[in-house]
Structure 1
Amino acid sequence: MRSVGVEEELLLVSADSGEPQAVSGAVLASAAEGEELEKELQREQVETGTRPRTQMMDLAVEVRRWRGAASQRARSVGAEVAALATSPLAVDPSLSPGDRYRRMVTEYGLTAQEQLTCGCHVHVGVESDEEGVAVLDRIRPWLAPLLAMSANSPFWQGEDSGYASYRNRVWGRWPSAGPVEVFGSARAYHERVRAMIGTGALLDEGMVYFDARLARNYPTVEIRVADVCLDAHDTVLIAALARGLVETAARAWREGEPPAAIDVGLLRLAAWRAGRSGILDDLVHPVTFEPAPARTVVEALLEHVGPALSDLGDLTRVEEGVAELFRRGNGADVQRAVFEESGGDLGAVVAESIRRTVS
C-alpha cells in the first residue's frame, strides 16, 4: 500500500485582533525535540509535516497532532495558528531570515515580498522516478477539482477577492507555478527541470513549483495544488483522493494506457475556474473540458479513482467526506458565512478559523 504524508502551512495570528504575527522564529525556538515544525518564506507562517502513513485513520491522527503541537507552541509566545490559505486581514509580510529567502526577494520583488500564502502538499509514495513521472502525466486533468474542494482563501488584504482560492492566483505569480505538459519519461522530466534552472529564471530545483512534481528528498510524487484546508477532515479527504489518483494513474501506466493529450492552456483555464468557483458553481469537467456543476465534476473524480479507493479501503471514508464537504462547504464558504453572520467582521472570521483549525 502506498504511503502518504502531508505538509500543511499554517498562519500565525494574534489571538486578539486576528492580524498575522511575525513570530515564527520564537515558535520554532520553543518547539520540543522531534516536533516537525519548519519555517517558511514569511515569519507569519509555520509548516507542519506528518510522517508517511499507509492508513488514513493514522494520517488523520498525525494531522491533528501536528496542528495541536503548532497551536501549543504558538500560544507559548502569545499567538495562535489558523489554517487559512491567505490572511483575511491586511498584512505587510516579514521575510524569514536566510540567504536564500533574501535572494528570492532580490530576484522576484513583490512576488516574493507579498507571498504570504499557505498550501497543503500531499506526498504519495512511488516505486521509481519512471513511475512517478508516469503518474504526473496522467493526473494532470484531475488536479483542478482538488483545488476547488480545498479552496480556503476568499479574502486578500482585507477585501473579498471574488475567488474561493485567491492563494492560487497569488501563487501563480512564480515563474514555474501551475500545470505542465506531458513529460513522457523520467529522463525528459529531469532534462526539463535542468533546462528551466539553466535559464537563470529559477534559483534552484526547489523553485520548480509545478502543481505536482517529483519530490526532491523523498521517493514520492508531491501534489501541491491544494489550499491548506480549514478543517482537518478535509485535509485527510484531499490526501486520500491524491493517493487514489496516484494509484489509478500508476495502474493505467502499467496497463499501457497513454496519458490524455490535454493542452496546458486548457489546464490553466480549469485551474482558474476551480480557484474562482470553489464548489459553489460550475467547474471545467476533467474529461469533456466543458462547464459542469462542481458536484458533477467531483462525482466524475470519485468514479475515476473509485476502484483504487476501494482496494485501498478508503472508498467509504472518501464518499462520506465528500458528502460532508458539500453539506458544510469548503473553507472559503465557511469564511464567507462567518463574515456575513458577524456583520462583516474579519476578526471574527479569523477567530472561528483558529477554533476550527484545532477542534
Structure 2
Amino acid sequence: MRSVGVEEELLLVDTHSGVPRAVSTSILAAADRRAGRADGTPPDHPFEAELQREQLEFATDPATEMGQLLEEIRHCRGEAARHAGEVDAVVAALATSPLPAEPSLTAGSRYRWMGEQFGITAQEQLTCGCHVHVSVDSDEEGVAVLDRMRPWLPVLTAISANSPFWQGQDTEYASYRSRVWNRWPSAGPVDVFGSADRYHEQVDAMVKTGVLRDEGMIYFDARLSATYPTVEIRVADVCLDATTPVLLAALARALVDTSARAWQDGTPPPRIGTGLLRLASWRAGRSGLDGPLLHPETMGETPAEDAVHALYRHVRESLTDNGDDDLVREALPRLLHEGNGARVQRRLYDETKDLAQVVRGCAQRTTSS
C-alpha cells in the first residue's frame, strides 16, 4: 500500500482582532526550545517557516492508515496553536486572510531573492495550501501518474476550496488562493510529459532560464517531489476541518493507484489540452462546490456534485483496495451537504457581518474538528 503524507500551511492571526501577525519566527523558536535535545542535536518537530512570517507550515510523517494521518494532523494543529498562544496569536486553517493584511517576507537569502525577482507577486502572496505526497516506485511511474491524473485535479481544488475573502472583500470565488497562486510563472496545469526523461528535461530547461531559482520553484499542479520518492499534488487550499485533508489524501492515493494501473495496462493519458485544464482549474476556483465544474472526462459544464461523483467512480476500485472506500463514501455526501471551508466562511459572515468573527470562528474550528 502506498504511503501518504500531508503538508499544511496555517495562517497566524492576532487572538483578538483576527488580523494576520508576523510571528512565525517566535513560534518556531518556541517549538525549537520545547523540542531541543540536551546533546545539541537539531530540534525534532514538524514546523517550518514559509514565504511570509504570517504563516507556519508543518508536514506529517508518511502513513498508510488514514486514521493515523488524521491523528497526526490534529496533533500538529494543536501544537501549532499551543506555540502561537505564547505570543498572543492563534492558528487558523484559512487559505487566505479574510481581513486586510500586509504580509512580511521571511528573512533569508531564498525569500529575499524571490521578493526581488517577483516583486508584488511575492509581496502579496499570503496564501495557505495543502499538499499531498503519495509514494511512487520510480520517476517513470511518477510521471505516468502525473500524465493521467491531470483532468481530475480541479475536482480536488473544488472539494478543498477555503478562500472566499481577500483584503476584506468577498471575491465571489470559492478558492481565490488558487487564482493568487497561479500568478507564479511556473504554476498551474502542464502538458503530458510521456517519460521521466522528458519531465526532467523540462524542469532543467525551466531552471536554466534564470526565471526560477531552483527546482523547488517548479510549482506545477502536481510534480515529482525533489526531496521524497513521491508525487506531490499541490492544488488544494488548506482545509478548515482536519478531516478534509484526510479525505483529500485518500482520494489522492486512489488517484495515483488508478493512474499507475492505467499506465501498466497500456492505457494512454487522456487527450485533453492544457488550455482546457486551465479553464477547469479556473472554474473549480470560482465555483468550489456551489456552482458548475467542468467534467473531468468530457470538459463540459456539469454540476459540482456530478464531477465529484465522477471522481469517486474513477477511483473506487483503488479506494476499496486501500480500505478507504467507507471513509470516502461517508465523507463526500457530508461535505456536499454541509459545504467546504468557503461555504462555512460565508455562512459565518452572513450570521455575524463581521470578518473578525469569521476568523475567530475558523481558528476555533481549526483545532476542534
Q: What TM-score results when the alignment is normalised by the length of structure 2?
A: 0.96
Gaps (5+ residues) in structure 2? 36-43
Residue 23 of structure 1: how far off its partner (Å): 0.2
SS in 2 for 1:213: strand
Give how far 1:324 is off: 1.2
What does residue 233 of structure 2 align with?
A: 223
> Could you give the per-residue CA deviations for residues 244-285 of structure 1, whole angstroms, max 9, x where no partner exists?
100000111111111012100000000000000000111000
CA contact (8 A) 1:35 1:69 kept: no
Q: Secondary structure at the match of 1:287?
A: coil
Following superposition, the deviation at residue 243 of structure 1 comes to 0.5
Identical-residue share of aligned pairs (%): 62
Asked if 1:285 corresponds to 2:295, the answer is: yes
**Alignment match of 1:206 (pick from 207, 216, 219):** 216
For residue 220 of structure 2, what is the amino acid of its counterpart? F
Residue 39 of structure 2: aligned partner: none
Question: In structure 1, which of residues 308, 333, 347 is the aligned counterpart of residue 356 of structure 2?
Answer: 347
Match of 2:348 in 1: 338
Which amino acid is 2:348 matched to?
V
Which amino acid in 2 is paired with 1:323? P
2-side partners of 1:37 and 1:270: how far apart?
33
Say whether the 8 Å CA contact 1:8–1:118 is kept in structure 2: yes
**1:8 counterpart residue number:** 8
In structure 2, what is the equivalent of residue 192 of structure 1? 202
Q: Summarize deviations over 1:66-96 as a string: whole Å, max 9, x none.
A: 1111111111121100000000000000110
Deviations 1:305-324 (A, max 9, x none): 00000000000101111011
Name the structure 1 match of 2:29: 29
4+ runs deviating over 6 angstroms: none
**Counterpart secondary structure, 1:52:** coil
1:47 aligned counterpart, secondary structure: strand
Secondary structure in structure 1 of the residue aligned to 2:177: helix
Aligned ranges 1:229-240 → 2 under 5 Å: 229-240=239-250
Q: Tell me how far apart the structure 2 counterparts of residues 242 and 77 of structure 1 sit (CA, whole Å).
A: 36
1:301 is the counterpart of 2:315: no
2:8 alignment partner, SS class: strand
Secondary structure of the residue aligned to 2:110 is helix
Q: Deviations over 1:33-88 (max 9, x none)?
A: 22200000000000011000000010010111111111111111211000000000
Pairs within 5 Å for 1:84-99: 84-99=94-109
- Which residue identity lines up with residue 143 of structure 1 in the other structure? L
Post-superposition offset of 1:327: 1.7
Distance 1:326 1:287 in 2: 20
Q: Aligned-pair RMSD on alpha carbons?
A: 0.6
Which one of 47, 71, 74 corresponds to residue 81 of structure 2? Answer: 71
Deviation, structure 1 residue 332: 0.3
CA displacement 1:323-349 (0-9 Å, x = unmatched)? 11012100000000000000x200010
Amino acid across the alignment from 1:302: Y
Structure 1 segments unaligned to the other structure (5+ residues): none
Tell me which amino acid in the other structure corresponds to 2:90: E
* DSSP-derived class of the 1:116 partner: coil
Q: Secondary structure at the match of 2:95?
A: coil
Q: How many aligned residue pairs are there?
A: 358
Asked whether 1:261 is paired with 2:268, we answer no
Offset at 1:201?
1.3
Q: Distance in 2 between matches of 1:41 and 1:207?
A: 12
SS of residue in 1 equivalent to 2:70 = helix
Partner of 1:159: 169
Which whole-Å CA distance do the structure 1 matches of 2:85 and 2:142 have between them? 40
2:256 to 246, 266, 269: 246
Q: CA deviation at 1:203?
A: 1.2
Residue 61 of structure 2 corresponds to residue 51 of structure 1: yes
Following the alignment from structure 2 to structure 1, what is the Cα–Cα distance between the partners of residues 73 and 272? Answer: 34
1:107 to 2:139 alignment: no
Aligned-partner residue type, residue 213 of structure 1:
R
Q: Note if contact 1:165-1:278 (Cα within 8 Å) is conserved in structure 2.
A: yes
Matched, 1:19 2:29: no
Alignment-derived partner of residue 365 in structure 2: 356
Question: How many angstroms does 1:237 deviate by?
Answer: 0.5
Q: C-alpha distance in 2, partners of 1:135/1:30?
A: 40
Distance 1:134 1:105 in 2: 34
Q: Structure 2: which amino acid aligns with 1:7?
A: E
Partner of residue 280, structure 2: 270
1:20 counterpart SS class: coil
- TM-superposed deviation, 1:158: 0.4
Distance in 2 (CA, whole Å) between partners of 1:53 and 1:186 is 26
One-letter amino acid matched to 2:305: R
Q: Is 1:138–2:159 an aligned residue pair? A: no
CA distance in 1, matches of 2:233, 2:154: 11
Question: Aligned letter for 2:264?
Answer: R
Aligned partner of residue 6 in structure 2, secondary structure: strand
Q: What is the alpha-carbon distance in structure 1 between the residues aligned to residue 231 and residue 359 of structure 2?
A: 32
